[in-house]
């Protein structure tokens, strides 16, 4: 006998698409002698939404979605309710807060699994209200893919807390793009602007690389880990070093931006010279301690765990009352959309186990 898990997926970009591909490849999962089948019942992107009570053929979702109705968040949620299918889950792979604004309403009836960080990195008031809703309605919200894809950072914090430990500080390198750029800056003769173009050509940057350089995404991640550790902290409390030169922040044309970013080369070259002279490495790190968090460039020496992190790795260091002098370090390959999708599958299964 297999249990059917019925998912309603919002967002069919890199992550959403990878999730559908994984489900198309194999949607039957065997855990502890039980069988679970993940079925996609609803899909939406910014323009369209499509539903099938009998489940959507994951190999044909694109053409089916094109034929769907005009996207509408209220109608999407109403359809989830109307179908009354057991083990229904909302999976949020969107890149904005249009659906997370409704989490409190959705969680009254359905669990949520999200790669989208909007809810956890919004206001603390909303963060706290979501936790109250989860308790009140005995429901579930899982977001292991929010931080450090594949590195079980939020799970580790929860296991510290449930074991009576207290997190005292967190440090991490969360941006694959910045890890790549700063590693190559020190290990090649190429200027920063050239490396940025190469990172774009390799598909490592956001469509607008200013979203990597401005530090917001890294700040969201340390905010989420800090909150998970119990801190009542807001995004505005985080000191963020924005690496986009002020005069390039509002340029509309990306071509013009790529051309103009050459003005940052001399600053990065100067940092490189200081780092090399002092046998140090440049990293774009996030730190949290004593209810304060910051994100920015720093130089680390060879004894620091960041020093050995390669261009395609991520790392998180946890200091706790038990791990006082030697932090617990989790480190591993930087994940992409496919790895994120796999973490989502694991979260989906945990909601029904
Ligand atoms: N990429 C990664 O490796 C990774 C890793 C961890 C977490 N995440 C997070 O996961 C989320 C998805 O990432 P991604 O890389 O897949 O982003 P993406 O490629 O930009 O895709 C975002 C999707 O959200 C949809 N969307 C935006 N506004 C919407 C709305 N109002 N209603 C319905 N759909 C809407 C977009 O629709 P259209 O297709 O119509 O534009 C698109 O399908 C983001 O929040 C990201 O921060 C990503």
Q: Are 309 and 179 in contact (CB under 8 A)?
A: yes
248 domain-assigned: yes
Q: Atom of ligand 1 at shortest distance to CA of 115?
A: 10
Q: Distance, CA 45 to ligand 1 centroid (Å)?
A: 9
57 domain-assigned: yes
Cα–Cα dist 113/19, whole Å: 12
82 domain-assigned: yes
Query: ∠ CA 341-215-255 to the nearest 5 degrees?
Result: 90
Q: Are residues 190 and 299 in the same domain?
A: yes
Q: Are residues 31 and 165 in the same domain?
A: no
Question: Which residue ranges have their beta carbon within 6 Å of ligand 1?
Answer: 10-16, 44-47, 71, 93-96, 98, 115-117, 145, 149, 336-337, 340
Substitution site in 8, 9, 15, 101 for ligand 1 pocket (most atoms within 8 Å of beta carbon): 15
pLDDT given for residue 150 in this prediction: 77
Q: Are residues 88 and 106 in the same domain?
A: yes
- The range of the structural domain enclosing residue 196 comes to 158-333
153 domain-assigned: no
Rg for the chain (alpha carbons), in Å? 21
Give the three-state DSSP class for 149.
coil
56: CATH = 3.40.50.720
Helices 337-352 and 14-25, axial angle in degrees (round to 10): 60
Q: What pLDDT tens digit does each residue of the chain (353 aa) get? A: 899 999 999 999 999 999 999 999 999 999 989 999 999 999 999 999 999 999 999 999 999 999 999 999 999 999 999 999 999 999 999 999 999 999 999 999 999 999 999 999 999 999 999 999 999 999 999 999 999 877 889 999 999 999 999 999 999 999 999 999 999 999 999 999 999 999 999 988 998 999 999 999 999 999 999 999 999 999 999 999 999 999 999 999 999 999 999 999 999 999 999 999 999 999 999 999 999 999 999 999 999 999 999 988 999 999 999 999 999 999 999 888 999 999 999 999 999 99
DSSP string across 220-256:
HHHHHHHHHTT----GGGSEE---S-GGGTT---HHH
10 domain-assigned: yes
Q: Are residues 105 and 15 in the same domain?
A: yes
243 domain-assigned: yes
Q: Are residues 170 and 276 in the same domain?
A: yes
Q: Are residues 210 and 239 in the same domain?
A: yes
Q: Are residues 347 and 326 in the same domain?
A: no
230: CATH = 3.30.360.10
Q: Whose CA is nearest to atom 13 of ligand 1?
A: 15
Substitution site in 10, 19, 45 for ligand 1 pocket (most atoms within 8 Å of beta carbon): 45
Q: Are residues 142 and 44 in the same domain?
A: yes
pLDDT given for residue 32 in this prediction: 87
Q: Whose CA is nearest to atom 40 of ligand 1?
A: 46
Catalytic entry in 117, 200, 221, 281:
221
pLDDT given for residue 4 in this prediction: 97
Q: Distance, CA 294 to ligand 1 centroid (Å)?
A: 26
Q: Are 98 and 73 in contact (CB under 8 A)?
A: yes
Helices 153-162 and 216-228, axial angle in degrees (round to 10): 20
288 domain-assigned: yes
Q: Are residues 189 and 265 in the same domain?
A: yes
Q: Are residues 102 and 178 in the same domain?
A: no
Catalytic: 256? no
204 domain-assigned: yes
Q: Are residues 142 and 202 in the same domain?
A: no
Substitution site in 42, 90, 94 for ligand 1 pocket (most atoms within 8 Å of beta carbon): 94
Q: Atom of ligand 1 at shortest distance to CA of 95?
A: 45
Q: Are residues 223 and 107 in the same domain?
A: no
Q: Reading across the β-sheet that carries 328-333, which strands appear in turn?
A: 239-240, 292-300, 281-289, 167-173, 313-320, 328-333
Residue 5: HSE in the Cβ half-sphere, 13 Å Cα cutoff? 28
Query: ∠ CA 43-45-47 to the nearest 5 degrees?
Result: 120
Q: Distance, CA 46 to ligand 1 centroid (Å)?
A: 9
Number of domains forming the structure of the chain: 2
């Amino acid at each position: 006998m297999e249990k059917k898990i019925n998912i309603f997926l919002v967002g069919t970009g890199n992550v959403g698409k990878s999730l559908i591909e994984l489900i198309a490849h194999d949607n039957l999962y065997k855990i502890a002698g039980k069988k679970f089948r993940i079925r996609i019942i609803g899909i939406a992107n910014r323009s369209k939404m499509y539903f099938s009570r009998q489940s959507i053929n994951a190999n044909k979702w694109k053409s089916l979605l094109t034929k769907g109705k005009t996207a509408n968040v209220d109608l999407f949620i109403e359809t989830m309710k109307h179908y009354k299918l057991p083990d229904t889950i909302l999976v949020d792979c969107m890149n904005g807060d249009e659906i997370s604004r409704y989490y409190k309403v959705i969680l009254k009836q359905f669990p949520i699994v999200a790669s989208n960080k909007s809810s956890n990195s919004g206001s603390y008031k909303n963060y706290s209200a979501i936790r109250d809703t989860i308790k009140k309605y005995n429901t579930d919200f899982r977001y292991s893919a929010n931080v450090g894809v594949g590195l079980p950072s939020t799970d580790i914090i929860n296991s510290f807390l449930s074991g009576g430990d207290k997190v005292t500080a967190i440090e991490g390198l969360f941006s694959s793009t910045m890890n790549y750029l700063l590693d190559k800056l020190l290990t090649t003769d190429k200027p920063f602007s050239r490396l940025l173009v190469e990172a774009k050509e390799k598909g490592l940057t956001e469509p607008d690389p200013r979203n990597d350089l401005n530090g917001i995404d890294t700040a969201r991640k340390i905010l989420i880990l800090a909150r998970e550790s119990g801190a009542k902290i807001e995004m505005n409390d985080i000191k963020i070093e924005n690496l986009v030169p002020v005069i390039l922040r509002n340029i509309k044309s990306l071509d013009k931006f790529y051309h103009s970013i050459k003005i940052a080369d001399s600053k990065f070259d100067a940092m490189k010279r200081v780092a090399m002279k002092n046998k140090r490495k440049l990293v774009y790190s996030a730190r949290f301690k004593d209810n304060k968090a910051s994100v920015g460039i720093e130089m680390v020496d060879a004894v620091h765990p960041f020093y050995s992190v390669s261009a395609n790795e991520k790392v998180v260091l946890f200091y706790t009352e038990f791990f006082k002098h030697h932090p617990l370090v989790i480190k591993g390959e930087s994940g992409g959309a496919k790895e994120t999708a796999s973490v989502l599958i694991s979260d989906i299964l945990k909601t029904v186990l």
